[in-house]
Chain A
Amino acid sequence: MNLPMLWIIPALPLAAVALNLLFGDRLGKRGTAFLACGAVGLAFAAAVRAVLTLAARSEEERQIVETAWTWFRVGDFSVDVSFLLDPLSAIMVLVVTGVGFLIHVYSTGYMAEDPSFRRFFLYLNLFMFAMLTLVLADNYLLMFVGWEGVGLCSYLLIGFWYEKQSATDAGKKAFIVNRIGDFGFLLGVMFLIAWTGSVNYERVFASAPHLFTAGGTIITLATLLMFVGATGKSAQIPLYVWLPDAMEGPTPVSALIHAATMVTAGVYMVVRSHVLFEMAPVTLEVIAIVGAATALMAATIGLVQNDIKRVLAYSTVSQLGYMFFACGVGAFGAGIFHVMTHAFFKALLFLGAGSVIYGMHHEQDMRKMGGLAGKMPVTHATMLIATIAIAGIPPFAGFWSKDEILAKAFATGHYGIFAAGLLGAVMTAFYMFRLYVLTFQGKPRFDENGGHAHAHAADAHGAHMTHDAHGHGAHDDHGHDHGHGGPVKESPWNMTVPLSVLAVLSVVGGWIGIGKPFIEGESWMGRWLEPVLGSGPHVHHLAVSTEFGLMGLSVAVAAFGIFMAFRAYLQSPSIATAMHERFGGLHRTLYHKYWVDEFYGAVAVNPVYQASMRLWRFWDEKVVDGIVNGVGYFLEGVSALLRLFQTGYVGTYALFITLGVLALFLHFLRS
C-alpha cells in the first residue's frame, strides 16, 4: 500500500472521544483508560508507519498530501480539508503522538482516584485530535481549526478542577490571552488571503516571492500579525502571562499541553511559514529580540519561585524563548530541534514533578520537600537525567539543541542575543538544580511518617519566603485524593514506566542533531529537514575551533550554574539567605514576576470591565430597572402606563432614534 492514510491519525483520538461520549458511562475506569490510551497508541503506530513511508521516498518526493474533501470554493479561492506529511510535520506528529501516548499512560495512574476520570480522558483525546489537525494541516485555515481546538481544550483542562476558583480564573485568563493572539493570527491569514488568494502552504509560498517585495510593508505586517498569534499560543512577551497560571490544571496536562506540545504550536507555525518570515527581516529581528528577552526574563523569574510546577512553567516560557530566537536568527531547523528535545525532557520534568506531588500527597512547595532521592528512586533518577538535559550538559539531549541555537546566533552575528542566551543558560542550570536539590537532596523538611509538614519548620531557605500571601499557590489539592498522609513512596508502574522511557529519550533524543564538528557535513536532523527548510544559505559556517570553543563555553556556564545551585542550596544554605537579604528588592520583583499581571489588570482588563459595567448600569439599571419599578404603575391602569411612557423610557429610545437620524443627516450635509 502506498497511501499511508494520514486522516486516520487525527481520526483515531476523535473516534475515542465519540465512543467515550456515547458509551463512557458503561466502560468503567479501566475501559475508559484502555480506550483513550489505545486510540493514541494506535495513532502513534499509524504516524510511525506514515513517516516510514515518507522516509522510504527519495528526498525530493518527501511530501505526502491527502485531500479528504473540499471544504469550500469561492471562485479561484478554495480550501481543502487535506493533510500534509513532510519532514517537518513528521517530526511534530511523532512527538505529539509519542509523548502524548506516554502521558496518557501516565495519567491513568495519576488521575486514578479522580471522580472525573472519564471527562479527563475525553478532553485529553479531544486535545490530541485538535493538535494533530494543527500539525498535519496543509493550509492555514485548517491549521487555525486545530489552533482554536487546542486552545479550547487547554482552557477546559486548565479549569478541570472547576471547584477551585483559581483554576477557573486561570482557564479564563488563558483563553482570553490566547484570543488576543488568535486575533493577530487570523488577521495575518486574512492578509495572505487578500494578497495571495490562497491559504494553502504550497501555493502561498510559491506565489509569495512574486507578490511581495522582500522587506516590504505588507509582508512585514502580515508576518508580524502571525507572530502575534505565535506569542499568544507559545507564551512569549507580552502574552506569556497565561502559562504560569495554567499550572492550575492537572500535572499531566501541564506536561502534555503546556510543555511538550501545544505551546510549541507557535514555533511550528513560524517554522512552517519560514518562506514568508525570511522575506521580512524586520519581523525576524523582532522575533529574535522578543525570544531572547522572554528567555532571559522568564529565567530570572524562575530563579526564585517556590512552587515546583511554577519553576517548570517559567522554565518552559524561557525555553520557548530559545526556540523563537533560533527562528529569529534564521535557524529554523534548530528551533524545531529544540522543540523536540524540549518535549522529551520537559514532559519528563513535569511528569516527575507530578510523581513527586503524588508521592508527597499534593504538596507542591519545594520548601516542604527535600531528601526524596532515596524514597522515590525511579522518579529521582529520571528527574536527574531531565535536569541535566535541560541544563545543557553533553551528551544529554538538551545540550545539542541549545548549543546549536547559540552557535547559530553567534554565527549570524547576533552577539547580543547570543550573550542573552548564554546568560539564560547559566540561570537555567541554576534554577533547575535548585529545584533538584530542594526536592531530592538534603534532609526531608516534612513529617516522614505522614501528615503535612509546615513551612514554619525552621528552615534556612524557607524562612524568608513569608510573603507568600500573593495567592499564587497552585496546589493540586482537589479534595478527593488518595488519602492524605502515609509515608512517601514511589509511584505505581504506569507512572514510572513513562518516566523511564522519556528519560531514555532525554539522553539519546538529541543525538540525531549531532553535526559539525563531530561528523562530516550536516547532522541527520538537518538533512532530514532540508527538503522543507532548504540548506539554510545565510548561516556562515564557523571554524571547527570556534565551534568547540562555543560548546566549551556553554558547558562551562551550565556547570557554573549547577555548582552555584549546589553550593547555595545544599552545602551552605546561608548563601541563599544572605543573597536574598542583600537583594531584597530585586528578589521581590522577581518573586512577583515583575508585577506584569498587576500591570495588565490595571491598564487592560479593568477599563474594559468598567466600560461594560457602566454601559450595563446605564441601560439595564437606569432604563430597565426603571421600567421594572414602573410595573407598579402599570397595575394601576392605562393612564399610569401612558404616564410612564410619556415621562420616559420609550421616549428615550425614540429620542435616540431621532438623534441617530439627525446624525446621519448631518453627515450627509457635511459631505
Chain B
Amino acid sequence: MSIVPQPTFLALDWWALGPVLALTAGTILLLLLEFLPQRANGNRGGIVSLLTFLASGYAVWRVAGEKRELFGGMFVHDPMTVFFTLLFCAVGVLATLMSWDYLKRTKINQAEYYALLLSSVLGMVVMAASNDLVTVFLGLELMSLALYVMVGFRRSQLESNEASLKYFLLGAFASGFLLYGIALLYGATGSSNLAMIGAFLADTPLATNPMLLMGSLLVFVGFAFKVAAAPFHMWTPDVYEGAPTSVTGFMSAGAKAAGFAALLRVALRALGPVMVDWTQLLAVIAFLTMTVGNVTALLQGNLKRMLAYSSIAHAGYILVAVAAGGPEGASAAVFYLATYSFMNIGAFAVLTMLGKGREERVLMSDLAGLGFREPLLGLALTAFMLSLAGIPPMAGFMGKLYIFGEAVKHPQLLWVVVAGVLNSVVSVYYYLRVTVSLYMKEPEGEPVGISWGAPAVLAIVITLAATLWFGLQAQGLWIQAQNSVMGLL
C-alpha cells in the first residue's frame, strides 16, 4: 500500500479529523467557561462534555465508510479508527453520565474533571488512529497524563494521591520503555511509519535482528503496561482502588481498549511478518495474566480492587485472541473490548451510586442485602457480574466464545484455551460472591445508602441494554468488529 502524501494543510478532511477537533475544542471551552460564574452544583461541565462526545461521534460516523490518510500518513481514518472512536465516545458519554452526580457528592471540581476526561479520550482517539509510532506515543501520553491527574482527584484522600503518584511514576517508567522501543524500531527499519515498517519487513528478512527484536519487545512492554498484562500489571489494583470510582470505571474500559487498539494496529500493520514468533510468547503472557488476575481476585473484599484484578484477567483473555493472531484473532479481541467496556462500566456505574455524600461504600460487605432493598440495582449488578463471568446469554459469554473459538483453531494454542476456560470457571466464584452478598447476606451495621441520580441510572440502563443486546444479537457488533480489522489490511 503506497502512501499518498498530502502536501497542504487545506487538503485535510475536516469530518475525519472531526473527533480530534471537537475534543480539543471541548477541552478548551470547558476551561474557558470556568471564568463565567455558575451555580455551585451546576451541570455545565457535564453538558459540554456530553455534547462534545456526541459531536465527535457524529463527525466520525458521518464519514464512516471512507478511508483517508491525514498528515502525511501519520493519522488514518479507516474502519478501525471509526470503530474505536465510536467506542471511546460511548465510553466518554457513559463516564460523563456516571460522574454527573458522583462529582457533585464527592466535591470534585467539575470543569477540570471533564476537561481532563475529554483530553484523555482525545489521547485514546489519537492512539487508535495513529499510523505512526510517534503519533501513537503522542496519543498514549496525552491519555496517560490526563489519567494520572484524574486518578488523584480525590485530593483529600491519601490513597488517591498515592495512586496518582504511583501510576505516574510507573507510567513514566513504561513510557521510557516504549520510547526506547520506538527508537530501536526506527533504527532497525528506517521508519516510524507503521505501513513503511510493515513494507520493509515484508521485503527484508530481519526476523532475528536483535535491534528489531528488542525494539518490538519494548514497544510491546509499553502497551502491556497500559492494558495491565502480567508482569506489568502491578499498579492496577492500587490505582483502581485509589482513584475516584467513576475514573476507575472510565480507565478500566477506555485505557485498556486504547492500549489494545494501538497494540493491534502495530502488530497487524507493522510487525505482521514477524508476529508468528510471538504466538507462544503471547500465549504464555496471556496465561500468566489471566491466572494472576483471577486467582488474586478470589479473596478481595474491596469491589474496586476485585474488579481491578478482574480487569487484569480480562486483559489475559484478550491476549489469547492477540496470540491467535491474524484478522480473525484481532476481530475477536476488538469484539471483546467493546462488550467488556459496556459491562465493566455498568458495574462501576452501580458502584458510583453506593454511599451518601463523600463516603465510598465499595466493600463486598456493603452489598449485603442490597438485592432486596434495591431490586433493580441488584439485578443490574448481577447481570454485569454474570456477563463478566461469561455466562450465557450475556455479552461476556459471546466475547469469550469468539476468542476461545478462534484460538482453538490453532493446535499450538490448545493449552492456553484449556487454561482460559478453566480460568473463567475460577472467575465465576468471585463474581458470584457479589451476587451472594446481594441476595444472601444480611447487612451488618448501617446499610449502605444509595445516591440516586438520573444520569447514573441512564448509564446503567444503557450498559445493561448493551450487555444483553450484544449477548442476544451479537451479529451486528461482530460484523463491525470484523470490518474494523479487515479495513485495516
CB within 8 Å of B: which residues of A?
21, 69-74, 81, 141, 144-145, 148, 152, 155-156, 159, 162-163, 168, 171-172, 175-176, 179-180, 182-183, 186-187, 190-191, 193-194, 608, 611-613, 615-616, 619-620, 624, 627, 631, 634-635, 641, 645, 649-650, 652-654, 656-657, 659-661, 663-665, 667-668, 671
Contact A182 to B166, CB < 8 A, known contacts A71-B474, A159-B440, A187-B418? no
Shortest distance from the beta carbon of A173 to any chain B beta carbon, whole Å: 11
Task: Decide if B108 is an interface residue (CB 8 Å cutoff).
Answer: no
Task: Decide if B94 is an interface residue (CB 8 Å cutoff).
Answer: no
- Which 5 A-B pairs rank lowest in CB-CB distance, beginning with the nearest? A162-B440, A660-B231, A72-B474, A145-B392, A653-B234
- Interface size grouping (class) on chain B: 35 or more
Residue contact B218 to A661, C-beta cutoff 8 Å:
yes
Residue contact A193 to B166, C-beta cutoff 8 Å:
no
The CA of A175 and the CA of B436, in the complex, are separated in Å by: 12
Shortest distance from the beta carbon of B200 to any chain A beta carbon, whole Å: 19
Task: Decide if B461 is an interface residue (CB 8 Å cutoff).
Answer: no
Contact A168 to B231, CB < 8 A, known contacts A71-B474, A612-B298? no
Task: Decide if B145 is an interface residue (CB 8 Å cutoff).
Answer: no
Residues in A neighbouring B232, C-beta threshold 8 A: 656-657, 660
Q: Is the contact region of chain A dominated by helix, strand, or loop, or is it mixed?
A: helix
Q: Kindly list 15 other residue pairs between chains A and B, CB separation below 8 angstroms, not including A656-B231, A657-B177, A661-B221.
A: A73-B475, A74-B402, A144-B392, A159-B436, A190-B421, A191-B408, A193-B408, A194-B405, A608-B426, A615-B295, A656-B232, A657-B173, A657-B221, A661-B217, A668-B213
- In the complex, the chain B residue whose C-beta lies closest to that of A69 is B473
Contact A72 to B174, CB < 8 A, known contacts A615-B296, A664-B217? no
Residue contact B405 to A168, C-beta cutoff 8 Å:
no
- In the complex, the chain A residue whose C-beta lies closest to that of B332 is A74
Residues in A neighbouring B158, C-beta threshold 8 A: 631, 634-635
Residue contact A612 to B173, C-beta cutoff 8 Å:
no
Contact A624 to B173, CB < 8 A, known contacts A72-B473, A660-B232? no
Cβ 8 A contact of B392, one of A148, A649, A664: A148
The CA of A671 and the CA of B482, in the complex, are separated in Å by: 33
Task: Decide if B449 is an interface residue (CB 8 Å cutoff).
Answer: no
Contact A175 to B162, CB < 8 A, known contacts A661-B217, A665-B214? no
Residue contact B391 to A148, C-beta cutoff 8 Å:
yes
Residue contact A193 to B162, C-beta cutoff 8 Å:
no
The CA of A665 and the CA of B472, in the complex, are separated in Å by: 43
The CA of A81 and the CA of B393, in the complex, are separated in Å by: 11
Cβ 8 A contact of B375, one of A21, A635, A665: A21
The CA of A656 and the CA of B428, in the complex, are separated in Å by: 28
Residue contact B295 to A612, C-beta cutoff 8 Å:
yes
The CA of A660 and the CA of B174, in the complex, are separated in Å by: 12
Task: Decide if B53 is an interface residue (CB 8 Å cutoff).
Answer: no
Shortest distance from the beta carbon of A11 to any chain B beta carbon, whole Å: 14
Task: Decide if B287 is an interface residue (CB 8 Å cutoff).
Answer: no
Residues in B neighbouring A645, C-beta threshold 8 A: 165, 169
Task: Decide if B92 is an interface residue (CB 8 Å cutoff).
Answer: no
Q: Is the contact region of chain B dominated by helix, strand, or loop, or is it mixed?
A: helix
The CA of A653 and the CA of B428, in the complex, are separated in Å by: 28
Residue contact A656 to B234, C-beta cutoff 8 Å:
yes
Residue contact B169 to A664, C-beta cutoff 8 Å:
no
Task: Decide if B273 is an interface residue (CB 8 Å cutoff).
Answer: no
Residue contact B428 to A71, C-beta cutoff 8 Å:
no
Residues in B neighbouring A661, C-beta threshold 8 A: 177, 217-218, 221
Quick one: which of B209-264 are within 8 Å of A by CB? 213-214, 217-218, 220-221, 225, 230-232, 234-235, 237-238
Chain B 378-417 interface 0/1 with A at a Cβ cutoff of 8 Å (1 = within): 0100000010000111000010011011001100000001
Shortest distance from the beta carbon of A435 to any chain B beta carbon, whole Å: 31
Residue contact A668 to B231, C-beta cutoff 8 Å:
no
Shortest distance from the beta carbon of B327 to any chain A beta carbon, whole Å: 12
Task: Decide if B432 is an interface residue (CB 8 Å cutoff).
Answer: yes
Task: Decide if B100 is an interface residue (CB 8 Å cutoff).
Answer: no
A-B contact pairs, 10 of them (CB 8 A): A69-B473, A72-B398, A156-B439, A187-B417, A627-B238, A650-B170, A657-B174, A657-B177, A657-B234, A668-B277
Shortest distance from the beta carbon of A60 to any chain B beta carbon, whole Å: 33
The CA of A144 and the CA of B471, in the complex, are separated in Å by: 13
Residues in B neighbouring A641, C-beta threshold 8 A: 165
Residue contact A616 to B296, C-beta cutoff 8 Å:
yes
Quick one: which of B135-174 are within 8 Å of A by CB? 158-159, 161-162, 165-166, 169-170, 173-174
Task: Decide if B106 is an interface residue (CB 8 Å cutoff).
Answer: no
Residue contact A162 to B441, C-beta cutoff 8 Å:
yes
Task: Decide if B422 is an interface residue (CB 8 Å cutoff).
Answer: yes
The CA of A635 and the CA of B472, in the complex, are separated in Å by: 52
Contact A152 to B391, CB < 8 A, known contacts A168-B436, A175-B432, A612-B296? yes
